[in-house]
């Protein structure tokens, strides 16, 4: 954005003009009043007058805001909320075209110094770099790199691996995929219909039995089945009939007993 030099030096005989009021004031202090020293800033002469009556109040507000500003000037330590403001400040107030670190706002005069700063301060912070041609942007987290590449370098749609349905966004793809999880599918081996998200567990029942009983050697597909079987080798009979006192290892055996031997009895709650 082009800015006119609207702020003229107020000292007699000086025709210098500046883009900002701050630059004009600095010029007056450094050039026309450089011999006047006090404990604070140099005192300006009688010919100088601020164009902003509330500059003192504004300065206090600015100083409060700058306490937590993420970008600071290496020369005067003034803080800024945006790196663009810092760059403008360096050019307008210090007359320097400085290079600025995109991450922390560190400024320097040459590219070699900026590269050295980046290696020392930020190389380990941003270890995931985009390998797309002409990009090279770095990220702290791998998921941020993945998101960046998907949003900026990829036109590939989200395709369902189960039915080839194409979604335009990840949220749409996730919603579509949940439909498959709630849908029942038939086992290709036994024909039994199983919820899609439970099919992999069911298929293990058709594979090799890997859970073997250490007492009798009987094998099972699942560990829970083996644990239930192990009760048959112990003295534990946790399920007792409340009518005839018969005891059983499994609840299913107790239910079968009551149905066959005591059909008129009330069901167990």
Neighbour tally for 157: CB within 10 Å: 12
Q: Do the domain assignments include residue 26? A: yes
Domain residue limits at 110: 71-122
Q: What is the pLDDT of residue 192?
A: 83
Q: Do the domain assignments include residue 106? A: yes
Last residue of a domain, one of 92, 122, 152: 122
Q: What is the pLDDT of residue 53?
A: 46
- Contact between 3 and 19 (Cβ < 8 Å): yes
Neighbour tally for 140: CB within 10 Å: 13
Q: Do the domain assignments include residue 139? A: no
Residue 2: CATH number of its domain: 3.30.160
Confidence tier at 65 by pLDDT (50, 70, 90): very low
pLDDT in tens, 159-180: 787 777 777 666 777 778 777 7
Rounded-to-integer distance, Cα 32 and Cα 111, Å:
35
pLDDT higher at 211 or 53: 211
Beta-bridge mates of residue 240: 247
Beta-bridge mates of residue 159: 166
Q: What is the pLDDT of residue 238?
A: 82
- Contact between 166 and 176 (Cβ < 8 Å): no
- Contact between 44 and 55 (Cβ < 8 Å): no
C-alpha angle 195-200-206 in degrees, rounded to nearest 5: 110
Q: Do the domain assignments include residue 82? A: yes
Q: What is the pLDDT of residue 168?
A: 66
Q: Taking 60 as the threshold, does the pLDDT of residue 142 lie above it? A: yes
Q: Do the domain assignments include residue 241? A: yes
Q: Do the domain assignments include residue 162? A: no
Q: Dig out the tokens for 244 from the structure.
A: 């005839």
Distance of alpha carbon 83 from its chain centroid, rounded? 22
| Whole-structure pTM value | 0.23
Q: Do the domain assignments include residue 59? A: no
pLDDT in tens, 67-104: 457 777 777 778 887 777 877 777 777 766 677 777 77
Confidence tier at 40 by pLDDT (50, 70, 90): very low
pLDDT in tens, 213-252: 888 888 887 788 888 888 888 777 888 898 888 888 888 8
Q: Taking 80 as the threshold, does the pLDDT of residue 212 lie above it? A: yes
Q: Do the domain assignments include residue 40? A: no
Q: Dig out the tokens for 143 from the structure.
A: 């998921």
Contacts of 157 by beta carbon, 8 Å cutoff, 6+ apart: 166, 167, 168
Domain count, the chain: 3
């Amino acid at each position: 954005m082009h800015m006119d030099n609207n702020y003229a030096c107020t000292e007699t005989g000086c025709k210098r003009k500046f883009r900002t009021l701050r630059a004009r004031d600095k010029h007056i202090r450094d050039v026309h009043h450089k011999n006047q020293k006090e404990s604070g800033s140099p005192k300006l002469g009688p010919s100088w007058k601020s164009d902003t009556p509330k500059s003192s109040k504004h300065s206090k507000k600015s100083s409060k805001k700058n306490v937590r500003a993420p970008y600071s000037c290496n020369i005067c330590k003034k803080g800024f909320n945006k790196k663009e403001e810092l760059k403008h400040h360096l050019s307008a107030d210090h007359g320097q075209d400085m290079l600025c670190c995109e991450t922390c706002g560190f400024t320097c005069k040459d590219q070699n110094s900026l590269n050295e700063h980046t290696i020392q301060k930020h190389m380990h912070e941003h270890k995931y770099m985009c390998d797309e041609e002409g990009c090279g942007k770095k990220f702290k987290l791998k998921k941020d790199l993945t998101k960046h590449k998907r949003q900026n370098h990829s036109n590939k749609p989200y395709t369902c691996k189960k039915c080839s349905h194409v979604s335009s966004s990840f949220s749409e793809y996730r919603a579509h995929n949940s439909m498959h999880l709630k849908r029942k599918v038939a086992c290709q081996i036994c024909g039994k219909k199983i919820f899609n998200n439970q099919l992999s567990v069911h298929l293990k029942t058709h594979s090799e039995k890997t859970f073997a009983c250490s007492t009798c050697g009987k094998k099972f597909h699942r560990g829970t089945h083996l644990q239930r079987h192990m009760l048959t080798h112990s003295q534990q009979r946790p399920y007792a009939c409340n009518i005839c006192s018969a005891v059983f290892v499994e609840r299913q055996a107790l239910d079968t007993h009551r149905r066959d031997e005591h059909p008129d009895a009330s069901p167990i709650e």
